[in-house]
Chains A and B, each alone.
Chain A
Amino acid sequence: MAKKIVHKDIVIIGAGMAGLTAALYAGRMNLDTLVLESGLIGGQIANAVSIENYPGFESVSGGELIGILQRQAEKFGAVIDEFDTIKKVTLKSTPKIVETEEHIYECDVVIIASGMNRRKLPLPEEKTFAGRGVHYCEMCDGHMYQNKIIAVMGGGNAALDAANFLTKYAEKIYIIHRSQFRADEVTQQRVKKNPKIEIMLQTEIKKLNGKGRLESVDVIDKNSGEMKNIALEGIFVNIGVEPNTQLFKDELKLSDSGRIIAGEDCCTEIEGVFAAGDVREKKIRQLTTAAADGTTAALLAEKYLAKLKA
């Protein structure tokens, strides 16, 4: 079946904090706005249990916060499609083309807010144990570990929050991290005070063991070099993220870390193409800075569109 050709003022790629904020602003400026998301609406915070550093909210779940933002964006006319996956983008042409499974979107502006993907556990046994002891979604799979011994791998806020959340189910949780914690002090104190959590810093998982399902892990203490075997039934992996820029690698300059190079004005090297949120190379990546990027990108996109139509 031939793909339907549709024109849009703005196509926003990604429906995380940056993308939805851009959609809200673009919608309020009466621009014909489409948001495409192939993962979860909300991106990295979609499954976050509790967010305590977003201004105006003492504590809010990722789902609740993003649900409010989605409703705001849709109220002002933005359309969000989470089932039509992008196959290809052509950014240097006029108009710019975003081709999905079902459509060819021609547009004047593209805002890339495709965010980050959770990094997979870099061990050869990962594939064997994925879903059978190795997990990436605490909210989805945590309940399967009632009264079990499990581990969380990682040392950032997301990892420590995951460990705290999982104490609701598990009998004991190891937090295994190869260096020192990067999480903020409040979050660190919370896990340190939790009697169900044992912290293993400077420790690296070297091997996963089990017949059919995960039964134990071999770890190395990086200070002493001592190897140890720990019996456990599950690992929730939170070892960071990597930029979701595969679609753009032939179109835009990427940094060494794979992020899109764009200034604080979110403008990339191609006129009318903006990069917003964590996918943009920058020093600070927080929900608040993602919202700021979404705002900047949408407002400057409107100025660009006005200039085009003048």
Chain B
Amino acid sequence: MVKLYGVEGCGWCQKTKKYLDSKGVAYEVHDVELNAEDAAACEKLTGDTAVPVLTVDDKNYVLGFDKAKIDALLGL
């Protein structure tokens, strides 16, 4: 399952969601502001304290909205 770490008011997170929707990609949202465990998992994955972060396997990820990298990660 595609996992998106993000925050409700974050414009880049919203844009990432819209892009995934436009491509028909199913995903689950993990709000790192509302859930400390998700925040810790996100920081552990990237080493960064920034979102959005998109991952498919909790190993490979894309930080920020980068269409080319998202396409490569998801095979779009």
Name 6 interchain pairs, CB-CB below 8 A, sorted by A: A46-B11, A83-B19, A83-B22, A131-B48, A144-B43, A145-B49
Set of chain A residues within 8 Å of B7, measured between Cβ atoms: 139-140, 143
A135 vs B50: C-alpha distance when bound (angstroms): 8
Given contacts A131-B46, A132-B49, are A144 and B22 in contact (CB under 8 A)?
A: no
Q: How far is the CA of A143 from the CA of B5 in the complex (A)?
A: 13
Nearest CB of chain A from residue B44's CB, rounded to whole Å: 13
Q: Which residue of A lies closest to B48 (CB)?
A: A131
Which of the residues A63, A135, A144 comes within 8 Å of B9, measured between beta carbons? Answer: A63
Inter-chain CA distance A83–B9, complex, in Å, is: 20
A-B CB proximity, top 8 nearest: A131-B48, A144-B49, A140-B10, A143-B33, A131-B50, A46-B11, A40-B11, A139-B9
| Across-interface contacts of B69 in A (CB, < 8 A) | none
- A252-281 vs B: 1/0 string, CB under 8 Å? 000000000000000000000000000000
Interface residues of B in 44-76 (CB under 8 A from A): 46-52, 63, 67
In the complex, A82 has a CB within 8 A of chain B: yes
Report yes or no: B11 in contact with A63, Cβ–Cβ below 8 A: yes
Interfacial chain B residues near A212, Cβ < 8 Å: 47
| Chain A nearest Cβ from B11, distance in angstroms | 4
Nearest CB of chain B from residue A102's CB, rounded to whole Å: 11
B10-54 near A? 1/0 per residue, CB < 8 Å: 111101001100100000000011000001000100111111100
A144 touches B39 (CB 8 A): yes
Q: Mark A133-157, 1 if CB is under 8 A from B, else 0.
A: 1010101110111000000000000
Is A14 an interface position by the 8 A CB rule?
Answer: no
A47 interface residue (CB < 8 Å to B): yes
Report whether A141 and B50 are in contact in the complex, using a CB–CB cutoff of 8 Å: yes
Given A135-B50, A234-B49, A82-B11 contact (CB < 8 Å)? no
Report the bound CA distance from A61 to B14 in whole Å: 15
> Nearest Cβ in chain A — how far from B27, in angstroms?
16
Q: Which of A109-137 contact B (CB under 8 A)?
A: 131-133, 135, 137
Q: Is the CB of B51 within 8 A of A47?
A: no
With both chains docked as a complex, state the minimum distance between the C-beta of B13 and any C-beta of chain A, in angstroms: 7
Docked CA distance A248–B47 (Å): 37
- The chain B residue with its CB closest to the CB of A132 is B48
Whether A16 is near chain B, meaning CB under 8 Å from some CB there, is: no
B16 to chain A, nearest CB (A): 11
